[in-house]
A and B are shown apart, each in its own frame.
With several copies, the nearest count.
Chain A
Amino acid sequence: MTTVAKPPAAGSAKPATMAQALGRALRDAMAEDPSVHVMGEDVGTLGGVFRITDGLAKEFGEDRCTDTPLAEAGILGTAVGMAMYGLRPVVEMQFDAFAYPAFEQLVSHVARMRNRTRGALPMPLTVRIPYGGGIGGVEHHSDSSEAYYMATPGLTVVTPATVADAYGLLRQSIASDDPVVFLEPKRLYWSKDTWNPERPADVEPIGTAVVRRPGTGATLITYGPSLPVCLEAAEAAQAEGWDLEVIDLRSLVPFDDATVAASVRRTGRAVVVHESGGFGGPGGEIAARVSERCFHYLQAPVLRVAGFDIPYPPPMLERHHLPGVDRVLDAVARLQWDQ
């Protein structure tokens, strides 16, 4: 997959939010490539309910950043047609659960069109989905739906956890000739990092996991909204004498077996952490792969820390559902350290 060249202008690094970086990525992609079209509910005049697309309609016109009728299957279905004609649509789904009406278009067409036509009709489209909880949203506004997309061959599934990745991975996703489900962790929208919008650093390509914190005792494997939780847990664990490595997967598909297995072979212990429900969630796949590849290196079973197997709870109870630092540390403690 392509990485994106640095734009020429200089500039200086200052605190920026993930939301800003995402908006900038859209803007730069549209400026660079006239075939990039942004579409979705309220993305034009309003700039999206999270303001990610703010200013795009003004800068590029409503034909390039379009408020669509309120119909997700229609949005994705028309984007398929636009991609068939050579455009590069970037679709915004307003919230995770509101991508479900478009599920048939995604699974039966977006994911399969290239394969169906032996490569004649690639689907260079990106579906941006704000996902996950922790922002006090009422029901249907906090789903973690990545398991559905992971189980769908033909889709690339990307999720950033840092400001730099938000920009870099979104640019790569838009530039990709394959359809990308780009999952934006809602509760990281306002997370900040120093970042230079005029000279955004290249980031590792989609398909590459990154060690965000090196360690020797055990590996925390995570992505998206749970990365900050894991980094915090790793800091706390240090006090207990556990030196944890933290891996940010960045893309669930393609999955970076090499980086993950190398780490676990080194540390001998692993915990997979995500906020999606545990049963049938991404952690099962990840734990199974790690267990198979690192069997003889493992000192303890690969454990999982995940959301409960329940519909996402109402705002006042969500903190009991979301895996936090304590649950991660509890799992780390169960890694049979005495052996």
Chain B
Amino acid sequence: MTVMEQRDSRTTPVPPPAWQPRTDPAPLLPDAEPYRVLGTDAAAQADPALLRRLYAEVVHGRRYNAQATALTRQGRLAVYPSTTGQEAAEVAAALVLQERDWLFPSYRDTLAAVARGLDPVQALTLLRGDWHTGYDPREHRIAPLSTPLATQLPHAVGLAHAARLKGDDVVALAMVGDGGTSEGDFHEALNFAAVWQAPVVFLVQNNGFAISVPLAKQTAAPTLAHKAVGYGMPGRLVDGNDAVAMHEVLSEAVARAREGHGPTLVEAVTYRMDAHTNADDATRYRTDAEVETWRAHDPILLLERELTERGLIDDAGIQAVRDDAETMAAGLRERMNQDPALDPMDLFGDVYAERTPQLREQADQLRAELDAEAEGDQA
């Protein structure tokens, strides 16, 4: 009911209210608790093939995280923000997309890119330090990893909107952390998406921390998913360690977007098991006990238990998955141990479509310096 329709014996005539609700808030509100499948009765319905696929990817992801972290210790990566413990959400984000869809990862989400099929060496280029982006975003439909937090969210909205205007059936899935939800860009992106009914899915991985800052210092909201109602889009709260629940909820959100019903905000409740990056010391701001409690809710464990209980995998099967992950890790290790071939002249290559006169001068200067250096080396 609106002001206008309000009936009361003493009611004055009332004009058409400009504020008239556009949407019914009730269906936009998230569940009171995170949606779960694994460990509940609903798990029995889960497709065995999907369970196996998710399991393989999550194990793969865990191994990838471990390998990348090891590479930082060997000086082969400048920095690595691990998603250990968050593999279910990372993997599900990649698997729910069609090839024509776009993924907008944050700086942490190399695993989602890898799960989407990107060569891990390319995914890690930024973090190795040889270039800002190691792949062609158009080829893979993976936006560059975004270091400035939440800034990639409006990009996802714009791209999805553009695709819709062109009549292309493309959905964009954008990833952000709990901390990133505090940025103005988060707000503006969600608002544009809702007003434009753009085919976007916003996935917030609430891993408990923004570096050292716990969620309680980040927001006073009931849940991050509750933010959705303020934009007029549905909010979904999901157990982020439950790969099946994540896959289901994200699939629904993607389908909803694809069918023209607009954006969805999904909050995945998870936990960052490692420090913020290899350079961080997590013992400064959290206890081992807290970390330990999350081990019992490990995404691999949840899947493995389900697969085992239902007899969908045996020890040999598990070993095969692990072997496969090991092969990937060995390959990655080997390739990351090679120094990338870099040309310093590339510094000037793509600043503009065409070099400015000033950049031509500067490129000449560097060229001369490099030549002199090379001569010096020979002499």
Report if A and B touch in the complex (beta carbons < 8 A). yes
Distance (whole angstroms) from the CB of B34 to the closest CB of chain A = 22
Chain B contact patch, size range: 35 or more
What does the 1/0 interface line of B164-179 toward A look like (CB < 8 Å)?
0110000010000001
Pairwise interchain contact A79-B147, C-beta atoms closer than 8 A = no
- A-binding residues in B (CB < 8 A): 78-79, 126-133, 136-139, 143-144, 147-149, 151, 153-163, 165-166, 172, 179-180, 182-185, 187-189, 191-192, 195, 210-213, 217-219, 284-285, 340, 342, 344, 346-354, 356-359, 362, 366, 369-370
Q: A100-B148, A101-B185, A109-B148 are in contact. List 14 more A-B contacts (CB 8 A).
A: A42-B212, A44-B212, A74-B191, A81-B162, A101-B184, A104-B148, A115-B350, A119-B349, A178-B352, A207-B357, A253-B356, A309-B358, A316-B128, A326-B369
Q: With an 8 A cutoff between CB atoms, is A46 at the interface? A: yes
Please state if A81 and B211 are interface contacts (CB–CB under 8 Å).
Answer: no
Which residue on chain B has the smallest CB distance to residue A98? B148
* Residue interface mask A83-122, B partner, CB < 8 A = 1: 1111101000000011011001100110011111111111
B353 contacts across to A, CB distance below 8 A? 114, 122, 176-178
Are the C-beta atoms of A310 and B348 separated by less than 8 Å? Answer: yes
Instruction: Indicate the size class of the contact surface on chain A.
Output: 35 or more
Partner of B137, one of A82, A87, A120, A256: A120
A156 to B136, CA, bound (A): 24
Choice from A71, A78, A79 contacting B183 with Cβ under 8 Å:
A71
Cα distance, A156 to B354, chains bound together (Å): 11
Q: How far is the CA of A158 from the CA of B340 in the complex (A)?
A: 38
Contact of B191 among A71, A138, A317 (CB under 8 A): A71
Question: Which of A59-83 touch B at CB < 8 Å?
Answer: 63, 67-74, 76-83
- Complex CA distance for A178 and B210, rounded to whole angstroms: 32
A-B contact pairs, 16 of them (CB 8 A): A70-B179, A70-B218, A71-B182, A73-B188, A85-B159, A101-B184, A120-B137, A120-B138, A207-B357, A310-B347, A310-B351, A311-B132, A314-B130, A317-B342, A317-B344, A326-B369
B347's contact among A41, A79, A87, A320, by CB below 8 Å, is which? A320
Q: How far is the CA of A164 from the CA of B79 in the complex (A)?
A: 31
Smallest CB-CB A-B distances: 9 pairs: A81-B158, A77-B154, A74-B188, A315-B129, A78-B158, A46-B212, A85-B162, A81-B159, A70-B179
**Which of B126, B158, B340, B346 gathers most chain A CB within 10 Å?**
B158
The answer to whether B131 and A314 have CB atoms under 8 Å apart is: yes
Inside 8 A of B349's CB, which chain A residues have their CB? 115, 118-119
A77–B151 touching, CB < 8 Å: yes
Contact between A69 and B188, CB atoms less than 8 A apart: yes
Contact A117 B342 (CB under 8 A): no
Residues in A with CB closer than 8 Å to B351 are 114-115, 153-154, 309-311
Does A130 have its Cβ within 8 Å of any Cβ on chain B?
Answer: no
- Nearest B-chain residue to A111, judged by Cβ: B351
Across-interface contacts of B189 in A (CB, < 8 A): 74, 77-78
- A69 interface neighbour in B78, B151, B156, B192, Cβ under 8 Å: B192
Contacts of B131 in A (CB 8 A): 118, 314
Cross-chain contact B161 with A78 (CB below 8 angstroms) = yes
CB contact under 8 A between A70 and B213, given known A78-B155, A84-B159, A314-B131: yes
* Candidates B149, B340, B369; contact of A70 at CB < 8 Å: B149
Query: Contacting B185 at CB < 8 Å: which of A77, A113, A156?
Result: A77
A105 touches B129 (CB 8 A): no
A198 at the interface (CB under 8 A from B): no
Q: Determine the residue in chain B with the shortest Cβ distance to A153.
A: B351
Do the beta carbons of B210 and A41 come within 8 Å of each other?
yes
Within the complex, the shortest CB–CB distance from A310 to chain B, in Å, comes to 5
Q: Flag if B158 contacts A69 (CB, 8 Å).
A: no
By the criterion CB–CB under 8 Å, are B148 and A84 in contact? no
Interface flag for A1 (CB, 8 Å): yes
In the complex, chain A residues whose CB is within 8 Å of the CB of B159? 81-82, 84-85
> Which chain A residue has the least Cβ–Cβ distance from B104?
A81
Q: Are A105 and B154 in contact (CB under 8 A)?
A: yes
Pair B358/A279 contact, Cβ less than 8 Å: yes
Question: Quick check: A138 and B147 within 8 Å, CB to CB?
Answer: yes
- Name B359's closest neighbour in chain A (CB-CB): A309
Contacts of A70 in B (CB 8 A): 149, 179-180, 182-183, 210, 213, 218
- Minimum C-beta distance from A24 to chain B (A): 20
- Give the residue name and chain of the A residue nearest to B166 (CB): A85
A212 interfacial by beta-carbon distance below 8 Å? no
Flag whether A258 is at the interface (Cβ < 8 A). Answer: yes
Say yes or no: B165 contacts A63, CB within 8 Å. yes
For the complex, is A321 an interface residue (Cβ under 8 Å from B)? yes
CB-nearest residue of chain B to A255 = B358
Q: Give the one of B172, B348, B352 with max A CB within 10 A.
A: B352
Cβ contacts under 8 Å, A140 to chain B:
147-148
Distance in Å: Cβ of B212 to nearest Cβ of chain A: 4
The minimal Cβ–Cβ distance linking A19 to chain B, given in whole angstroms, is 15
